A and B are shown apart, each in its own frame.
Chain A
Amino acid sequence: MKRDLIVIGGGPGGLMAARTAVEDGLKVLLVERKRNITEINRACTRSFYTHLLSPAPGVDSEMGQPYHDGYIEPVSVEIGPEKTRFHFAVPGFSIDYAGPLRPYLNWVSISPGGHQILGYKPNDRPWGFYFDKEAFATQLLASAEKAGVEVWPETTGIAAENTRDGVRVQVRKKSGEETLEARAAIAADGLESRIVESLGINQMRQGLGSVQFAFVHYVMEGIETGLPESSWLTWSIPSLNPFSFPGIGAACINMWADNMNTLGTLTVGKLSPETVLDKFMQHPRWSAMFRHARIVKKEAMGMSGTMLGPVKEPVTGNVVIVGDAGAPVESWIQGAVASGYMAAKAVKKELGGQKGYPEYAAWWHKAFYFNNPDYLKMVGMGFSRPLSRLCTDEDMDFLYSLFQGRLGIPEMMVARNLRLIQASRPELYEKLTRS
């Protein structure tokens, strides 16, 4: 019997799509490259963000708001006595999760010498959570399999081709290549999706410039920051890493399970992330944080090539695109999950003779910040990043000292207070305004 749906990719988007479809009565196959599907080797902060749309309470909206590029529909986290539930208000569904959960209560941007600018009012309310993505995916996979999804690990989706009444998906297994047929397919195979590429969709995506970046983080035990706890901490230190990506900075310390943390950096070009992290751990001002620290695990990710804008339409024939496969950047775990759910619902409608794809496309355009024209402006700002590229460490300390302890986004604060800078540091003002 012909399958109704093939899902390519077993990340959060693919797993959610497969589970939703099978619960709606479809016959579903999920293929995934990895052997242990839910094992994660790529660097990911494992965050679930609850504060997305509005500036944090107390933040002057003129001063901007913490960086966001992913899924902007409202979500909530319900913490109960036995389990946690992630609620997705707009598509209208919930997922259970049992595992570690650590709230983020602070966001601190730090200059080389230690001046701090705060993204949120300190210790006021959680704006997001660390959670164990592997445990989450494992629980999702278990419920998908229990509901009847057929799962093929160690199977890579190579290409898809629309046919008159369905789709052919070419896969590579250990035993060789094979062509599978189904009435519809969902491409959930992530950034640099082979399925998206094979359908020729990438030719229609806007080039956002050539990039070569690498992100590495160490999972570490025993970091003692002496800075506000339960924080997302980012440092802007141009001498270590002139490319200070929004939300990451030259280096960042985030939370992890079991009271551990991650120390991460994103570098552009040839600069090695490991070198930046090693230098940071030996930085005279900051090395004390690592006196008793030990690296437990290293995770990396990266990309080299042309950064592509979002797919214009997330449906081609009988293939529906979800999550990072259609995005220029991370759609976030919550974006992948939501689009997996929405895509499965759309497929179900279409297979039942109704229109489901137009609704999915409309939702896709609205639900992700990267589909908003403002996003390109932000990318422009992020990639040229005048502050970290134009400033010395000493400049950075001066700028941060102006806003020490205040709530806001450093770049926005500087941009809005150029006159203040002009008065005391004309040469720095020149540098900043020339860009």
Chain B
Amino acid sequence: MMYDLIVVGGGPGGLMAAKKAAEDGLKVVLIERKKNIPEIHRYCGQICYLRKLSSSKAGLHGDGYVEPVSVEITDRSYRFNFPAVGFSLDYNGPIKPYLNWIEISPSGYRIWRRRDTIWGFFYDKEAFLAGLLDSAQKAGAEILPETIGMAAENTPTGVKVLTRGRKGEQTLEARKAIAADGVSSNIVDSLGMNEKRRSLGPSAKLVCYELEGVETGLPPFSWVAPCIPSINRLMVIFMGLAAGDKMALGSGSEEVLQKFMKHPKFAHWFRNARLVKKVAAAGGGKYGILTPIREPVEGNVVIVGDAGAPTETWIQGALASAFMAVNAIEKELDGKKGYPEYIQWWQKAFYFHKPDYFRMVIGMFALANAWASDEDVDYVYKLFQDRDGTPQNIIEQNLELIKAGRPELYERLKKGYEEAEKMMARVGGS
């Protein structure tokens, strides 16, 4: 049996692709490794970002989808609007605003990346995915759970996808396929598309505790990012919102989390806290962190979301790219050109294609390398206490102020930023 479209992967991108394709009348099958498709095992911030964090000034989370997204709150439900791409999705689960983003030093000095302004919403990704799956099925998409997409092969008239399910291996055929199988995509690998990608470094692990009863004394609805070199020099520690009244505390390893929870300045946050759930995730895939795929189309296979990205495309980026990919496929099936437009859009819509992205990543590491002690961070954060902005940028723009009080720290920071520029020249030049 020949399908119009095989979608590999049942995350936000894959489900969106299956839903749209089925609604538009294509004969579509979606395959997904998991049995219970909307269930999430990996850590995910579950954030809908409103701010276009499109320059390095925005810092750490300026790495995803940069087109505007808005959240509409009505009497009964929520609507995620994608005005740049032209669609909306309804959602009716819990939702909590993020109002602040606080960078905090070991002794508690704060720099506010965002203050008292709604910059995003936490929402329940499982509930959201369940809704998408339901509408995909209602629209007629065939769903095959517990089925892994192993490889794809272009044929003169379409594509063959090798799958492995409970009953063994099977080959599905379709006119087109969408690879939405995430950061370590089998499909992308099987098509040889990783050969053209360069490594940006090894994969980073991420461990996250969901905790009940955390008492930070900080304003609620905050993303909190403590900078504590003595515990963890390179990997950030963060605390964000989780379902119910829980908080999600994450970092590179459990050891870091344990140390942080026992840190004399922060232990009181966790006095009445209870660990509810432990989840892990990885930054990067089996080959480490790879540069983005520049041209996310190979023959009859179109790549969406994390499958083609060095880092998270965000849920909204996965959704938008799926929508655009299906549009492109429909045009191509119609005998028109759809791929060039998709490729162009892909290169424009994600921050990780811009040189600024590398500058930001490198700048972060440069800064992290410059800290010799917790006291360094306290000194600098105290100097800029309660300022609004991103620490990397505030520090870079005010190096001279640091020179007066901490000449050696100044030298280290200066060197760090110079190194960053040099690395930038290398990366940017190639």
Residues of chain A whose beta carbon lies under 8 Å from any beta carbon of chain B: 50-54, 74-82, 85, 87, 89, 100-103, 105, 122-126, 229-230, 258-259
Contacts and interface: CB of A to CB of B under 8 A. Distances in A.
A259 B116 contact: yes
B68 interface: yes
Nearest to A73: B75
B50 interface: yes
A230 B83 CA distance: 29
Interface string B74-96: 11101101010000000000111
A80 B81 CA distance: 9
A51 B74 CA distance: 7
Interface string B88-106: 0000001111010000000
Contact of A100 (B79, B97, B116, B244): B116
Contact of A258 (B94, B116, B220): B116
B75 A78 contact: no
A295 to B, nearest CB: 20
Nearest to A77: B73
Nearest to A259: B116
A54 B76 contact: yes
A80 B67 CA distance: 11
Given A51-B75, A103-B97, A78 B70 contact: yes
B405 interface: no
A79 B70 contact: yes
B116 A54 contact: no
The 10 closest A-B pairs by CB, nearest first: A80-B70, A76-B74, A78-B72, A229-B220, A81-B68, A81-B52, A77-B73, A124-B94, A78-B70, A103-B97
- Among B69, B76, B244, which residue has the most Cβ atoms of chain A within 10 A? B76
Contacts of B219: 229, 259
B69 A81 contact: yes
B46 to A, nearest CB: 15
B75 A81 contact: no
Nearest to B75: A74
Nearest to A89: B74
Given A80-B70, A81-B70, 4 more contacts: A80-B69, A102-B116, A124-B94, A125-B73
Interface string B191-235: 000000000000000000000000000011100000000000000
B118 interface: yes
Contact of B73 (A89, A126, A229): A126
Contact of A126 (B69, B83, B95, B116): B95
Nearest to A229: B220
Contacts of B221: 229-230
A258 B51 CA distance: 19
A125 B219 CA distance: 17
Given A81-B50, A100-B116, A230-B221, A123 B245 contact: yes
A50 B117 contact: no
Contacts of A54: 75-76
Nearest to B120: A79
B162 interface: no
22 contacts: A51-B75, A54-B76, A76-B72, A76-B79, A78-B72, A79-B70, A80-B68, A80-B69, A80-B71, A80-B81, A81-B52, A81-B70, A82-B68, A103-B97, A105-B97, A123-B96, A125-B78, A125-B96, A126-B95, A230-B221, A258-B116, A259-B116
A100 B117 contact: yes
A404 to B, nearest CB: 17
Interface string B343-371: 00000000000000000000000000000
Contacts of A100: 116-117
A101 B71 CA distance: 13
B51 A81 contact: yes
Contacts of A82: 52, 68
A78 B245 contact: no
A361 to B, nearest CB: 25
Contacts of B118: 79, 101, 103
B98 to A, nearest CB: 11
Contacts of B75: 50-54, 74-76
B71 to A, nearest CB: 5
A82 B75 CA distance: 23
A30 to B, nearest CB: 31
Contacts of A89: 74
A51 B77 CA distance: 10
- Among B52, B97, B99, which residue has the most Cβ atoms of chain A within 10 A? B97
A41 B210 CA distance: 46
A101 B121 CA distance: 14
A385 to B, nearest CB: 28
A78 B83 CA distance: 12
Contacts of A52: 75
- Among A53, A54, A78, which residue has the most Cβ atoms of chain B within 10 A? A78
A229 B217 CA distance: 11
Contacts of B52: 81-82
A385 B228 CA distance: 55
A56 to B, nearest CB: 10
A89 B75 CA distance: 11
Contacts of B96: 105, 123-125
- Among B70, B73, B76, B220, which residue has the most Cβ atoms of chain A within 10 A? B73
Contact of B74 (A74, A79, A124): A74
Contacts of B99: 102-103
Contacts of A229: 219-221
- Among A52, A81, A230, which residue has the most Cβ atoms of chain B within 10 A? A81
Nearest to B51: A81
Contact of B72 (A81, A87, A124): A87
Contacts of B69: 80-81
A100 B245 CA distance: 25
Contacts of B76: 54
Contacts of B220: 229-230
A50 B78 CA distance: 11
B48 to A, nearest CB: 10
